[in-house]
Structure 1
Amino acid sequence: MNNLHVRVADWQKDNADLRRIRETVFIAEQAVPPELEWDAEDPHAVHFLALDGDYAIGAARLLPDGHIGRVSVLKDWRGLKVGEALVTAAIKEAERRGLTRQMLSAQVHATPFYERLGFAVVSGEFLDAGIPHVDMVRQSR
C-alpha cells in the first residue's frame, strides 16, 4: 500500500474506473438506485482517482461550487487512509480554484472522518437515497 497516490481523473478517459468504483460502493453495497448515483453534474466536475500502483481503488469529485462528493473506496482498501487522501486532494484543488468554502453531504456514520479533515456539521439529519446524511462545511483559512 506504499504505492498509493491520488490524481485528477478525466471523466471520459477514466470513466470505466470511476463507474466501477462508484457502482461497487454505492449501487451494489449501499443499494443506491443508479438513477440517483449518476447525474448531470458528473461531466462538469473535477474527478479524482486513488490508485494502488496503477489499479484504481477510490474515487471522489469536486463540483464547481465547492461541493465534494461521491467519495468512495473499495472495501479491501478501507481503513488505509485512501478516503483521507481523496478528500485532501479535493480540498487542495478547491483551494487552488479559489473555493475557500468546501461543502459535502456526509453519511452520518462518516461524520467523525470528515470532522478530522476540518468539516463541521451544519444541518440536521436527513435521508438521501434512504441513507441518513448531514450537511457539512469546511472553511479554508
Structure 2
Amino acid sequence: MTVSVATDPAECFALRRTVFIEEQGFTEADEWDDLDASAVHLVKHVKDQPVATARLIPQGDAGRIGRICVLKTARGLGLGAELVRYGIEYFASKGAKRVVLGAQVRAQGFYAKLGFTPIGAVYDDGGVPHQEMERAL
C-alpha cells in the first residue's frame, strides 16, 4: 500500500509515541506541540497495520517535513524514503520553493541521499543532536 494522508491522526500519534518516546527516550513535552493540529499527517500501512508516519507543515515559501518515524520491525524497507518523497511531491504541488527538515545527526546520510543538504549549525532537540537540512524544489 502507498503512503496516504491519515484519516485518523491517532494512529500516527501512536507510532510517534512508540518510536520517539518509548524507543528513543524523548519526553512528552518534546514530542507533542501545537503544530499537530494544523499539520497534514501521513501514514504508511503494511498489511493493514500502520508502520510509518510523518507530518507536513507549510512555512511560508517552504514546506517542513517532520516527525518522520518507522517502527523498528519495518525499518530497512524504504518506508522512510517513501514518506519523504511524498512530502517533497506534496509541497512541490503546493508551489513551495524548498523543503526543510530537522534531521537527527545520525540520519543525515539518509536525507542527503534524498537530495537534502545541511544548513546552519547542529542544534539540540530533546538531548539529541539535530541538523537543519533543505532541498530546493
Secondary structure at 2:19 match in 1: helix
Q: Is this contact kept in 2: 1:44–1:64, CA < 8 A?
A: no
2:126 is the counterpart of 1:129: yes
How far does residue 100 in structure 1 lie from its aligned partner after superposition? 2.0
1:60 aligned to which of 36, 39, 54: 54
Deviations 1:63-93 (A, max 9, x none): 0111110000000000110000011111111
What TM-score results when the alignment is normalised by the length of structure 2? 0.94
How far does residue 54 in structure 1 lie from its aligned partner after superposition? 1.5
Instruction: Structure 1: give runs of 5+ residues left out of the alignment.
Output: none
Separation of aligned partners in 2, 1:53 and 1:5: 11
Show structure 1 runs of 4+ deviating over 3 A: none
Secondary structure at 1:64 match in 2: strand
How far does residue 5 in structure 1 lie from its aligned partner after superposition? 1.7
The aligned amino acid for 1:116 is K
Instruction: Structure 2: give runs of 5+ residues left out of the alignment.
Output: none
Q: Is this contact kept in 2: 1:119–1:137, CA < 8 A?
A: yes
Separation of aligned partners in 1, 2:123 and 2:97: 25
The aligned amino acid for 2:66 is G
Deviations 1:40-71 (A, max 9, x none): 11111111001103211000011011111000
2:16 is the counterpart of 1:22: yes
The aligned amino acid for 2:125 is D
* Residue equivalent to 1:71: 68
Identity of aligned residues (%): 42
What TM-score results when the alignment is normalised by the length of structure 1? 0.91
The aligned amino acid for 1:57 is V
Secondary structure at 2:2 match in 1: strand
Deviations 1:82-140 (A, max 9, x none): 00001111111111111121001000010010011110001221110000110001001
* Residue equivalent to 2:94: 97
1:115 aligned to which of 96, 112, 117: 112
User: What is the number of residues matched between the two proteins?
Assistant: 134
2:32 is the counterpart of 1:38: yes
The aligned amino acid for 1:30 is Q
Secondary structure at 1:41 match in 2: helix
